[in-house]
């Protein structure tokens, strides 16, 4: 106690500059002590130089495999079929990386045209508390360096408080759009509402997941499956990233997904892939087969239907790409083939009488209508989507070096990429690529 009194008395006798110097030195000591604690892993102290050397990624090619993987960290392939933490595709790959410096480079010429891309987030005024952290973390971890626009949609007008709050968080332009309920969010003609209610009760008995949707959710599923891509407010954009409320970025984005999609000519990139309960889709696959019979020329020879079917396209296995943190090329989704398929499935009314959803329809579209090399798996991004009641969609790099380089604050034990709920392993399998070592951890 006497030492404390002596210290306080001594500080009181110092001038202002001396006090500032003393407190600055104290802050430096605390900072370096904290850093020393953070870089401890499995009892070994990681070198700060090793931990923060080269914060970007690099590209590698996976032999002749079909799998396309987006990672934040390069790792040598063990064999020609082993996926690497980089970017790859089937056949001749456009490698936009140079000298392994992790930066995207033009391949064969300059392309300085602006990337017309936006985040799309569906939220009502009541969701404001849920999306503040969502927008903030996406800005801090990625968008503040790029200034892409945000597009907020709802079936209700956004209040001035809502608009003012999210606009202050965003670095790019912010647009707000009310979707007309009578035009886009209502029952199609011919739908029997009593049957919809009856089927919903049956679905709740068969399925434990969220497929037994209320009417508004079903309307929005129809809207998201096809109609949104034709809306006027998206005509100024070429690419979109879907962001759900309660989605948070836990790691820095070391690669711009929009820039990568443009340069590598991709049409669809996904972060999560899971499986639905089979009872929610009793007539989906028969409808898909009917479409194929009526439109055989729409099927791409290098399709990826074996991702969604275990028996050579005889039935649906439930695997689908989640909409959360998906990145899409709007030209593909506005195109004649996708619009024809989505409208065909929409008219089968499975969105109302069964548990079909928009992410499943998009999954069928991107796996059936185009070459598999147009797809891209985004690995080690470091995000979580808590919007689902029964499943947290959580992706966290298991490699300590990646987590340090990307300044991740997530727990790798919570990662679901290689869990039984995930279909990412299936994606690797059907592309003939060995699973990475972390899949067995």
pLDDT by residue (tens digit) across 168-202?
999 999 999 999 999 999 999 989 988 888 877 77
Sheet holding 393-395, edge to edge: 247-249, 383-385, 393-395
What was the pLDDT predicted at 187? 94
With 60 as the cut, is the pLDDT of residue 78 above it? no
Q: What is the pTM of this model?
A: 0.76
Task: Report which of 91, 220, 219, 97 is spatially closest to residue 153, judged by C-alpha positions.
Answer: 220
Q: Residue 139 and residue 120: Cα distance in Å, rounded? A: 14
Q: Residues 264-315: pLDDT tens digits?
A: 999 999 999 999 887 789 999 999 999 999 999 999 999 999 999 999 999 9
CATH 3.90.550.10 residue ranges in the chain? 117-440
Q: Is 326 a catalytic residue?
A: yes
With 50 as the cut, is the pLDDT of residue 346 above it? yes
With 90 as the cut, is the pLDDT of residue 398 above it? yes
What was the pLDDT predicted at 113? 87
What was the pLDDT predicted at 15? 56
What was the pLDDT predicted at 439? 87
With 90 as the cut, is the pLDDT of residue 6 above it? no
With 90 as the cut, is the pLDDT of residue 64 above it? no
Q: What's the mean pLDDT when you consider all of the chain? A: 80
What was the pLDDT predicted at 27? 52
Contacts 24+ apart (CB under 8 A), 287-291: 287/344, 287/345, 287/348, 287/350, 288/316, 288/345, 288/364, 288/368, 289/313, 291/341, 291/344, 291/345
Question: Exposed (0-12), middle (13-18) or buried (19+): which is 180, by Cβ within 10 Å?
Answer: exposed
What was the pLDDT predicted at 441? 67
Share of the chain above pLDDT 90, in %: 64
Q: For domain 117-440, say whether CATH 3.90.550.10 is its number.
A: yes
Task: Report which of 193, 187, 128 is spatially closest to residue 154, judged by C-alpha positions.
Answer: 128
CB crowding 403-416: b at 16 or more within 10 Å, else e:
bbbbebebebeebb
With 60 as the cut, is the pLDDT of residue 393 above it? yes
Query: Residue 198 has which token pair?
Result: 């009856």
Task: Report which of 157, 307, 172 is spatially closest to residue 241, judged by C-alpha positions.
Answer: 172
Q: Residue 28 and residue 51: Cα distance in Å, rounded? A: 20
What was the pLDDT predicted at 18? 52
Mean pLDDT lowest among 53-62, 138-147, 237-246: 53-62
Mean pLDDT lowest among 39-53, 133-147, 373-387: 39-53
Determine which one of 73, 326, 346, 354 is catalytic: 326
- What's the distance, CA 275 to chain centroid? 16
- DSSP secondary structure code for residue 313 in this structure: S
What was the pLDDT predicted at 201? 78
Mean pLDDT lowest among 6-10, 157-161, 163-167: 6-10
């Amino acid at each position: 106690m006497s030492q404390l009194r002596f210290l306080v008395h001594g500080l009181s006798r110092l001038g202002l500059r001396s006090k500032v110097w003393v407190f600055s030195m104290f802050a430096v000591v605390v900072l370096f002590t904290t850093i020393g604690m953070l870089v401890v892993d499995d009892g070994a102290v990681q070198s700060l130089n090793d931990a923060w050397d080269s914060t970007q990624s690099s590209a590698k090619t996976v032999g002749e495999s079909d799998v396309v993987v987006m990672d934040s960290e390069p790792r040598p392939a063990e064999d020609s079929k082993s996926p690497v933490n980089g970017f790859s595709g089937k056949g001749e790959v456009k490698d936009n990386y140079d000298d392994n410096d992790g930066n995207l480079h033009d391949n064969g010429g300059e392309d300085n045209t602006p990337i017309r891309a936006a985040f799309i987030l569906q939220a009502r005024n009541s969701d404001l508390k849920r999306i503040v952290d969502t927008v903030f973390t996406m800005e801090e971890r990625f968008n503040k360096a790029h200034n892409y626009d945000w597009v907020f949609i709802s079936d209700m007008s956004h209040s001035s408080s809502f608009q003012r709050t999210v606009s202050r968080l965003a670095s790019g332009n912010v647009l707000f759009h009310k979707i007309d309920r009578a035009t886009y969010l209502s029952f199609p003609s011919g739908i029997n509402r009593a049957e919809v209610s009856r089927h919903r009760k049956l679905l709740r008995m068969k399925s434990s997941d969220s497929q037994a949707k209320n009417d508004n959710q079903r309307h929005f599923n129809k809207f998201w499956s096809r109609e949104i891509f034709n809306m006027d407010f998206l005509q100024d954009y070429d690419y979109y990233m879907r962001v759900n409320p309660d989605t948070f970025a836990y790691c820095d984005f070391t690669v711009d997904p929009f820039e990568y999609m443009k340069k590598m000519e991709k049409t669809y990139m996904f972060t999560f892939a899971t499986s639905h309960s089979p009872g929610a889709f009793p007539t989906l696959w028969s409808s898909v087969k009917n479409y194929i019979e009526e439109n055989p020329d729409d099927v791409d020879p290098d399709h990826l239907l074996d991702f969604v079917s275990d028996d050579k396209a005889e039935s649906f296995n439930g695997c689908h790409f989640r909409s959360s943190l998906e990145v899409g090329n709007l030209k593909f989704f506005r195109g004649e083939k996708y619009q024809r398929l989505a409208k065909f499935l929409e008219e089968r009314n499975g969105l109302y009488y069964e548990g079909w959803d928009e992410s499943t329809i998009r999954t069928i579209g991107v796996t059936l209508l185009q070459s598999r090399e147009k797809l891209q798996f985004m690995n080690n991004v470091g995000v979580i989507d808590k919007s689902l009641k029964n499943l947290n969609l959580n992706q966290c790099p298991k490699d300590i070096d990646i987590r340090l380089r990307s300044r991740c604050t997530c727990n790798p034990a919570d990662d679901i990429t290689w869990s039984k709920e995930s279909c990412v392993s299936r994606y690797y399998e059907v592309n003939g690529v060995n699973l990475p070592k972390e899949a067995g951890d």
